[in-house]
C-alpha cells in the first residue's frame, strides 16, 4: 500500500466495480452529493464501494467520473465512472459539501513474476474457451490485447458467470496471483458445467423432432440425471428394488418381476412403458399382507352396535355370532382351510331410512376393521366391478380392488350400497361380475381384469344394502345371507327420536336441552300423524323444522321453549295423515288390503262396483265382464280373474243373487299413478267382490293379505312383518294372514302383536265371513 488520500465515497448496491471497468452508476441524493464533491475537487476522484449486504465494505475502487447525465430507460441521473485503482477504506473524515468523505490507502499492483504470467496464461485460455462458446468474438480480441496480468484478472468484473460476492472477494484480494487462481477455479467450474449442459442439449436435439416439446423436456431431464449419476426415480432398477423389498405373495412377486423385466427391455418412447409403470404402482400400493385384528370383546362390540342404532337385532346378533366364531377358532388354533378366509356376505334389505347404510360403519367399528363404501346405484358397466383390460387407454382396476386399496387392509368391511339398483346395458351386467365377488366359495381367487392376479377377498366382510329384494338377480341373492330390516314401530321411532334424532337436531340448530324440550307426546304425535314411513328420515326432517323455528323463537324471547303435542301445529302445521279406513269402508264393496312397496308396508284399498246390464241379460250369471283399473301388472290382473271366478262359483254359499253378476264388475285400485303387481291381494279382492254383491260392508278395523286359489285356499305371501307394521300405523286392529305365514310372526315386534289381532287363515270363505259386517247390522244402518 502507498499513498493515503481523502475522497468522497459512493456506495453502490448490487454492483461491484473493479479497476479498468467503465460502468453507469444510478445516483440518489447521497450519490449526487458524492459526485458533486468529487467534481469540485482538484483531481475529480471518487471512491466506488459495493454494498451487497449489511457488512461495511473494506475495499473500493478509486474511479474518475467520465460523464453525468440521463440515460435512456432510467429514471434520474446516472454517472458513468471508470475504475482505476484498488483502495483500502480507512476512517471517515470531513470534507466539503454534503458528501461522505473517507480516508483510503491506495493499493499498488506488484510487478508480475513468472508465476503470475503462467497463471495469467492459464486464465486467458479458460476465458477464451468460455468466450468462444458464447461466440463473443469482439471481446476475445480485447482480451488477447491485454498483457498486464492484473488488468486481465480485473476484466472478470464483466463476467456474467461470476457472482457479485465472488467479485467482491476479487476486489478485496490485493495479490494478483491469488486473484488469478480464484478466477481459474471459478471459470473452469463454470466451463465444465457449460460443456455438460451443451452436451446434454446436443444429445437431446439429435434424438428427437423439434415439434415434440414435451418429449424434449423429458429427455433433457433424463440426460441431466444421467450426467449427474442419479437414477431416475421411477426407473426399472427402482421398481425392481421396490418389488423385491415389498411384502408380496409369491405369485404376485413373480408377476411383478416379469413386468419389471419388460420395463427394462422397453424403450422410453414405447407407450407400453407407461402402462407397466401404472400397473406396478397399483400392485405395490395394494395391502397384500396387511390385515387388522378383529375385536374379541363380544360385549363391547354389542355396546357399539347398540349405541349407534336402535333395534336391528338380527344384524347385531349376526355380527356378534361372527366375532364369537372367529374368537373360538383363534383360541383353538384352527387355521383357515383351503385358502378360504372367514369373511361374511350379507345383504341388508329394507325400506329407506331404517339405517342400512350407516349400520355398515358401526359394524366396522364393532369388528375393529377398516370401513369403505362402494356406491353401486346406477352402475351399468361390468368393468366398474372387474376392471378394464390394460390395453385400453385410461384403464383402471375395478371398484372392489380400489376399495381394498383405499381401506389399506385385506379384511375391511366393504359396504356395497344400493345393490338392487345396478343396471345393465351393452357394456355388460355388473351384477354378473358380482357373482364371484360375493361367493364365499370363489372369492378367495377373485381375478380383476386390470390386475390379472388372484386377489383373496375371502376375509372381507361384505355388507350389501337393498330396498327391493326382488330387483336383485336370484343367482346373486343366493350367494348372500339375507337380513331383512322391515322398519320401525311407533315405539321404536319415538325411542330413536329421543335418543338420537332430537340431540342431533338440537346440536345442528345450536340449541341446548335447557333451551328447548320436546315432549314424548309430541314425538309420538309426529310418528303417528305426521309421518307414515318405515324409517325415520321424514321424522328427522320434521324435528329439524321444529328446531329451526324454536331457534328463532328463543332468539327473540330468550326464554326456554317446551314443544308438546298440542303446539306442534304452530311449528310444522296440521297433521298430514289421519285415519281413513273407516271413511273408505263406509260403503259396501271396499276392502282394506296390505301391500309391500320399495318404501315399506302400506295399506291398499280395493274397490268393487257392479255396472248393471252392460254385460247383457243373455250372458246369464256365468258371463260377467271384468274391468280393472289402477295400473296393474299381469299377476294382479290374473289374481282378479281368479277372485271373480271363485265368487261366481260360490254365489250360493255367500248369499249372492246370481242376477247381480249379469253385468260388468269393475275393480279399482286407488292411487292409479302407482304401478301395482303381485298375488297377495287375492283375498282382499274376493272380500271386496262379496261385499259389493251382498251389500254388506267390510269391517273398518280389518285388514287382510294372502294369495287365493280357484278353490279358495289362502296361499302364503311375503313381507308379513312390513304389512303388520303398516296395519298398526294405519289404525287397524284385526289382520287376516295365510296360515302358512304363521311362523313369520316370530319376527314381528311384540308391541305390534299386542296391538293387533292376527288371524292365520286357510280358506278365503272364513275370511269373508269374519271380515264382513252382519247383514242385519248393514240393514239397520241403511
Rounded Cα distance between 605 and 250, Å, is 65
20 carries a ligand binding annotation: no
Residues 6+ apart with CB under 8 A from 749: 489, 492
Rounded Cα distance between 8 and 475, Å, is 100
Single out the catalytic residue among 156, 342, 680, 700.
Answer: 680
Rounded Cα distance between 16 and 29, Å, is 20
Residues 6+ apart with CB under 8 A from 193: none
Give long-range contacts, CB 8 A cutoff, 24+ apart: 294-303.
294/323, 294/326, 294/327, 294/367, 294/368, 294/369, 294/411, 295/323, 295/366, 295/367, 295/368, 296/323, 296/326, 296/327, 296/330, 298/323, 298/324, 298/327, 300/366, 301/366, 301/367, 302/366
Report phi then psi at 268, rounded to 5.
Answer: -65, -25
423 carries a ligand binding annotation: no
Cβ–Cβ under 8 Å, residues 636 and 677: yes
Locate 196 and state its grid cell. 455438460
Locate 503 and state its grid cell. 340431540
Instruction: Give the bridge partners for 447, in sequence order.
Output: 454
- 135-163 as b/e, with b when 16 or more CB fall inside 10 Å? eeeebbeebeebeebbebbbbbbebeebe
Rounded Cα distance between 652 and 9, Å, is 133
630 carries a ligand binding annotation: no
Helix 250-265 / helix 271-285 crossing angle, nearest 10 deg: 160
Rounded Cα distance between 549 and 553, Å, is 6
357 carries a ligand binding annotation: yes
* Whole-Å CA distances, 697 to 573, 579, 594, 685, 689: 34, 18, 18, 14, 11
Residue pointed to by grid coordinates 478466477: 183
Count of all residues that appear for the chain in the document: 782
Task: Return the SS3 of 269.
Answer: coil
110 carries a ligand binding annotation: no
Single out the catalytic residue among 45, 316, 721, 723.
Answer: 723
In 3D, which of 181, 199, 198 has the Cα closest to residue 126?
Answer: 181
Cβ–Cβ under 8 Å, residues 172 and 105: no
Active-site residue 723, yes or no? yes
Cβ–Cβ under 8 Å, residues 52 and 168: yes
354 carries a ligand binding annotation: yes
Binding-site residues, in ranges, read 350-357
Residues of each annotated binding site for ATP: 350-357
Q: Could you list the active site residues?
A: 680, 723
Amino acid at each position: 500500500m502507498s499513498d493515503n488520500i481523502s475522497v468522497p465515497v459512493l456506495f453502490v448496491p448490487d454492483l461491484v466495480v473493479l479497476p479498468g471497468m467503465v460502468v453507469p452508476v444510478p445516483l440518489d441524493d447521497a450519490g449526487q452529493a458524492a459526485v458533486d464533491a468529487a467534481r469540485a475537487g482538484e483531481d475529480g476522484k471518487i471512491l466506488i464501494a459495493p454494498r451487497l449486504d449489511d457488512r461495511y465494505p473494506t475495499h473500493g475502487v478509486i474511479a474518475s467520473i467520465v460523464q453525468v447525465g440521463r440515460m435512456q430507460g432510467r429514471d434520474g441521473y446516472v454517472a458513468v465512472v471508470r475504475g482505476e485503482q484498488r483502495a483500502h477504506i480507512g476512517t471517515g473524515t470531513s470534507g466539503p459539501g454534503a458528501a461522505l468523505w473517507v480516508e483510503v490507502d491506495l493499493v499498488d499492483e506488484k510487478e508480475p513474476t513468472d508465476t503470475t504470467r503462467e497463471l495469467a496464461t492459464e486464465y486467458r485460455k479458460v476465458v477464451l474457451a468460455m468466450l468462444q462458446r458464447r461466440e463473443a468474438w469482439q471481446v476475445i480480441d480485447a482480451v488477447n490485447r491485454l498483457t498486464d496480468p492484473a488488468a486481465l484478472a480485473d476484466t472478470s468484473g464483466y463476467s456474467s458467470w461470476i457472482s457479485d460476492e465472488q467479485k467482491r472477494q476479487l476486489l478485496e484480494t490485493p495479490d494478483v496471483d491469488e486473484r488469478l487462481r480464484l478466477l481459474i477455479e471459478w471459470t473452469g467450474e463454470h466451463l465444465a458445467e457449460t460443456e455438460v449442459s451443451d452436451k446434454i442439449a446436443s444429445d437431446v436435439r439429435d434424438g428427437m423432432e423439434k415439434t415434440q416439446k414435451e418429449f424434449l423436456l423429458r429427455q433433457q431431464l433424463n440426460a441431466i440425471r444421467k450426467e449427474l449419476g442419479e437414477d431416475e426415480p421411477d426407473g426399472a432398477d427402482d421398481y425392481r428394488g421396490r418389488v423385491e423389498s415389498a411384502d408380496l405373495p409369491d405369485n404376485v412377486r413373480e408377476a411383478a418381476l416379469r413386468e419389471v423385466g419388460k420395463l427394462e427391455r422397453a424403450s422410453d418412447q414405447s407407450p407400453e412403458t407407461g402402462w407397466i409403470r401404472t400397473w406396478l404402482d397399483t400392485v405395490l400400493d395394494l395391502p397384500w399382507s396387511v390385515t387388522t385384528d378383529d375385536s374379541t370383546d363380544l360385549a363391547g362390540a354389542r355396546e357399539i352396535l347398540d349405541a349407534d342404532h336402535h333395534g336391528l337385532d338380527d344384524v347385531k346378533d349376526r355380527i356378534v355370532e361372527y366375532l364369537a366364531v372367529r374368537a373360538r377358532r383363534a383360541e383353538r388354533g384352527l387355521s383357515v382351510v383351503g385358502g378360504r378366509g372367514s369373511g361374511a356376505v350379507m345383504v341388508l334389505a329394507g325400506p329407506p331410512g331404517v339405517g342400512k347404510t350407516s349400520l355398515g360403519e358401526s359394524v366396522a367399528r364393532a369388528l375393529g376393521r377398516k370401513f369403505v363404501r362402494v356406491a353401486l346405484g346406477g352402475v351399468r358397466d361390468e368393468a366398474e366391478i372387474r376392471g378394464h383390460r390394460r390395453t385400453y387407454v385410461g384403464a383402471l382396476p375395478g371398484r372392489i380392488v380400489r376399495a381394498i386399496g383405499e381401506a389399506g387392509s385385506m379384511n375391511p368391511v366393504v359396504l356395497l350400497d344400493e345393490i338392487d339398483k345396478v343396471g345393465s346395458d351393452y357394456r355388460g351386467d355388473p351384477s354378473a361380475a358380482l357373482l364371484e365377488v360375493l361367493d364365499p366359495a370363489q372369492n378367495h381367487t377373485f381375478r380383476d381384469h386390470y390386475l390379472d392376479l388372484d386377489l383373496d377377498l375371502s376375509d372381507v366382510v361384505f355388507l350389501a344394502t337393498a330396498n327391493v329384494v326382488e330387483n336383485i338377480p336370484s343367482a346373486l341373492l343366493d350367494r348372500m345371507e339375507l337380513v331383512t330390516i322391515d322398519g320401525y314401530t311407533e315405539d321404536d321411532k319415538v325411542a330413536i327420536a329421543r335418543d338420537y334424532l332430537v340431540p342431533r337436531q338440537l346440536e345442528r340448530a345450536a340449541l341446548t336441552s335447557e333451551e328447548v324440550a320436546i315432549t314424548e307426546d309430541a314425538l309420538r304425535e309426529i310418528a303417528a300423524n305426521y309421518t307414515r314411513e318405515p324409517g325415520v328420515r321424514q321424522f328427522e326432517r320434521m324435528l329439524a323444522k321444529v328446531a329451526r323455528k324454536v331457534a328463532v323463537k328463543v332468539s327473540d324471547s330468550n326464554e326456554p321453549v317446551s314443544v308438546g303435542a298440542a303446539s306442534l301445529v304452530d311449528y310444522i302445521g296440521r297433521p298430514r295423515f289421519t285415519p281413513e279406513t273407516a271413511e273408505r269402508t263406509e260403503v259396501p264393496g271396499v276392502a282394506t288390503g296390505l301391500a309391500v312397496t320399495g318404501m315399506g308396508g302400506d295399506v291398499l284399498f280395493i274397490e268393487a262396483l257392479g255396472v248393471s246390464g252392460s254385460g247383457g241379460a243373455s250372458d246369464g250369471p256365468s258371463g260377467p265382464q271384468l274391468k280393472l283399473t289402477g295400473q296393474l301388472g299381469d299377476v294382479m290382473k290374473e289374481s282378479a280373474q281368479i277372485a271373480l271366478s271363485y265368487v261366481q262359483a260360490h254365489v250360493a254359499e255367500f248369499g249372492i243373487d246370481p242376477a247381480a253378476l249379469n253385468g260388468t264388475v269393475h275393480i279399482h285400485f286407488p292411487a292409479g299413478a302407482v304401478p301395482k303387481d303381485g298375488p297377495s291381494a287375492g283375498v282382499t279382492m274376493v272380500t271386496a267382490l262379496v261385499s259389493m254383491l251382498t251389500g254388506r260392508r267390510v269391517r273398518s278395523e280389518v285388514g287382510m293379505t294372502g294369495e287365493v286359489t280357484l278353490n279358495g285356499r289362502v296361499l302364503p305371501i311375503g313381507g308379513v312383518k312390513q304389512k303388520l307394521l303398516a296395519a298398526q300405523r294405519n289404525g287397524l286392529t284385526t289382520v287376516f294372514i295365510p296360515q302358512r305365514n304363521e311362523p313369520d310372526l316370530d319376527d314381528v315386534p311384540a308391541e305390534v302383536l299386542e296391538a293387533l289381532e292376527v288371524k292365520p287363515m286357510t280358506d278365503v270363505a272364513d275370511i269373508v265371513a269374519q271380515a264382513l259386517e252382519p247383514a242385519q247390522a248393514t240393514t239397520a244402518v241403511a
